[in-house]
Each structure stands twice: as structure tokens, then as C-alpha cells.
Amino acid sequence: MSKTPAKASKPKVLQLGRAVEWPHTPEEAQIDRVPNPQRDTNYVVRFTAPEFTSLCPVTGQPDFAHLVIDYVPGQWLLESKSLKLFVASFRNHGAFHEDCTVAIGKRISAEIKPKWLRIGGYWYPRGGIPIDVFWQTGKLPKGMWIPDQGVAPYRGRG
């Protein structure tokens, strides 16, 4: 009995340059990558999402954060439109601050396989307590300079 060869999976079509539906969930969101034309050079790419929104999984109230994602690309670059759509997919997603921050970092890392990645989630206070969450992959390549993420610790009005 002969086996039918497995179908080759269709390559993903980039979302860039065309109208696409907003993803309803982070799992549904497609993260696109493009070839890194400078893969023989170590350098840092930074994305900032100062208006990140998700929902508290207990109360359903909105939570807000300023996200900063730094990475040293390998073979792939993270395509920015797909990142925007992925980040927006959290608007109706219920998860704790820690889960959102780490899940975003892990998903991006799995998709683009950077040499190094760091995400800082600077969450605005609810209940009087701000929460900052940080996650990174492995060790920074030798000789790399990484700028401060530039988000001051929350100090309130004082």
C-alpha cells in the first residue's frame, strides 16, 4: 500500500501592502517575517508600543502598558504591520500583565528566531500598583550596545 505524500504547507502571504482583517485573538494573529539583508552584521532593532491594551482576566477591566521590544536579528526581521496587528489582537484578550508580556516575547522569538530578544512591559497602575515585566532570550551577542528602554519607573504625580 503506497502512502500519499504529505501536502507541502502553503507559504504565508505577507499582510504588508494589502487590506487584512484584524485578528480577534493573539493565537489567530499572523506574525510575518522578512529576510534580513544585513544578517552578517549584529545590530539592534527596537519596536515601541506605547498604547498596548488588554483585559484583566478577572474583572474584565482594561489594562494599559507601554511595551518596548529590542532584538538582534538573525536571518529574519519582524515585519512591523504584522506586529501592529498582533499587538492589537490583545485588546479583547483577558490575561495578566506577566502572561501578556512574556507571551508576546515568546511568540515573536519563535517566529523570527532572533540572536537575542528583550521585551519590557511597563504597565500602568490599576489598584494603585504599577507592574513592570521583563523577559529576554539567552545572552546578548558580544560587543552589542543596548540602549536603555527609556521608560521611567512610574512615580505618580510626585
Binding-site residue positions for substrate: 78-80, 97-98
If we measure between CA atoms, which residue out of 70, 100, 71 comes closest to residue 86?
100
**Annotated catalytic residue within 32, 40, 56, 148:** 56
Distance CA 20, CA 31 (A): 13
Query: Catalytic annotation on 148?
Result: no
Neighbours of 154 (CB within 10 A): 14
Annotated binding-site ranges = 78-80, 97-98
Residue reference for cell 521583563: 134
Query: Catalytic annotation on 40?
Result: no
**Annotated catalytic residue within 32, 63, 70, 100:** 63
94: number of CA atoms within 13 Å, CB side? 6
Phi/psi-derived region of residue 110, left when phi > 0, alpha when psi is between -120 and 50, beta in every other case: alpha
Asked if 75 and 113 count as a contact pair (C-beta separation under 8 A), the reply is yes
Tell me, what DSSP letter sits at residue 94? B
Catalytic residues: 56, 63
